[in-house]
Amino acid sequence: MVPFYERRLEFNLSSFAMKLVSLQRFIKIVSMLNSGIQTSIEVLKALIRIPSFSREEAAAADFLQNHIEAQGMTTERKGNNIWCLSPLFDVQKPSILLNSHIDTIKPVSGWKRDPFTPSQENGKIYGLGSNDAGGSIVTLLHVFLHLCRTQQPYNLIYLASCEEEISGQGGIESVLPGLPPIAFAIVGEPTEMQPAIAEKGLLVIDVTATGHAGHAARNEGDNAVYKALNDIVWFRDYRFEQESPLLGAVGMNVTQINAGTQHNVIPDRCTFVVDVRSNEWYSNEELFAQIQQHIVCEAKARSFRLHSSHISVEHPFVQRAIRLGRKPFGSSTLSDQALMPFTSVKIGPGCSSRSHTADEYMLVQEMEEAVVLYLQLLDKLVLS
Ligand SMILES: [Zn+2]
């Protein structure tokens, strides 16, 4: 039996040693941060200078690929997607994917600056795509380059994908089948470094009502607009049963409508479009099947591929995030998570409300905090 005072000493020593280890780790992170954040800033600025609208990301992908290879890494490429496996890749270990996108939307009206000339003022880096998702691209790369050279209980894969803003088929979807099995993914998007643990999916439906044309003056024909009306009212009023604490109810909105050729012809065709945002309780296929049972017009889903997603709060990554003071939330905006058939969390520097706006910017401080937090979240993370 160890005497009480010795046990206490032992305890104090081990607690001291633990503090020392975490202090050493902290110092290491801070010194690495100081040396590396400047590089991340320069890479971000370089990316801002290269226009990279969806499907036009070749030059940005070239630049990023060259930059990663200059760090001594081997890259792979498909179209304008660039990825890179940790050099210590071990098939026995699970793999974590670090992903963000290099494409941007076209600049909205209202920019007072040149969207393609990065400028740094008061700790802000202005430029198109700085917030969505340049900050995530460069900070995740920074974290990848650091962690992939250390011993971790997992493999890392870094993937800078294209065509995200249009959910294009040449984007992440074309790359995933060729990657090693992924156990978990981090999707870098501006969330103020809060973890989105659920994300709404998207289902777009084209609906067609068919009637018979006739002369309006003689009240002939069968009016397709009136046929469409009942279904439009149904879409407005129907509520799916399962509501989600994170994502709320399934949302349905009729967003476009078309009918008629001239004032005196009863229209024989009326088409409208419905935008459906799914929560994690329903697959797009289930929603579509239910919708078809309720409406009389002919419905066609454009695709079922943009799924809602959800990860358990019990997941080790989410648990670690909570311990670090992060607040899990549900996100209504779509990301590449929709195309991932494995669990994922969306978390990144910047703020969603600054995306797709004029004079978009990223704070240097947000990038610094992101690097520290990504490292704290990932270093020695055990997935099971
Ligand atoms: Zn984005």
In tens, the pLDDT along 364-373 reads 999 999 999 9
**DSSP helix/strand/coil, 215:** strand
Pairing of strands 214-215, 265-266: antiparallel
Cα-to-centroid distance, 110 and ligand 1 (Å): 20
- Please compute the mean of the pLDDT values over residues 108-134 and round it to a whole number: 97
Cα-to-centroid distance, 56 and ligand 1 (Å): 16
Given this model, what pLDDT does residue 1 score? Answer: 46
301 upstream amide cis, omega within 30 of 0: no
Element (H, E) at 345: strand 344-346
Cα-to-centroid distance, 350 and ligand 1 (Å): 11
Cα-to-centroid distance, 346 and ligand 1 (Å): 10
* pTM of the predicted structure, to 2 decimals: 0.86
Given this model, what pLDDT does residue 5 score? Answer: 40
DSSP one-letter string for 47-64? HHHS--BTT--HHHHHHH
CA angle at 183 for the pair 178 and 187, rounded to the nearest 5°: 80
Pairing of strands 81-85, 196-199: unpaired
Interatomic CA distance for residues 81 and 156, integer angstroms = 16
133 upstream amide cis, omega within 30 of 0: yes
Q: 9 or 266: whose pLDDT is higher?
A: 266
Cα-to-centroid distance, 166 and ligand 1 (Å): 10
**Is residue 2 scored above 60 in pLDDT?**
no
Percent of the chain with pLDDT over 70: 91
pLDDT tens figures, 14-69: 566 666 666 776 666 666 666 679 999 999 999 999 999 999 999 999 999 999 99
Scanning the structure block, which residue is given the tokens 């290099």?
Answer: 102
How many Cβ atoms are within 10 Å of 329's Cβ, its own excluded? 15
Cα-to-centroid distance, 111 and ligand 1 (Å): 19
- Please compute the mean of the pLDDT values over residues 194-214 and round it to a whole number: 97
Percent of the chain with pLDDT over 90: 90
Given this model, what pLDDT does residue 25 score? Answer: 66
Given this model, what pLDDT does residue 11 score? Answer: 47
Given this model, what pLDDT does residue 384 score? Answer: 83
Cα-to-centroid distance, 190 and ligand 1 (Å): 7
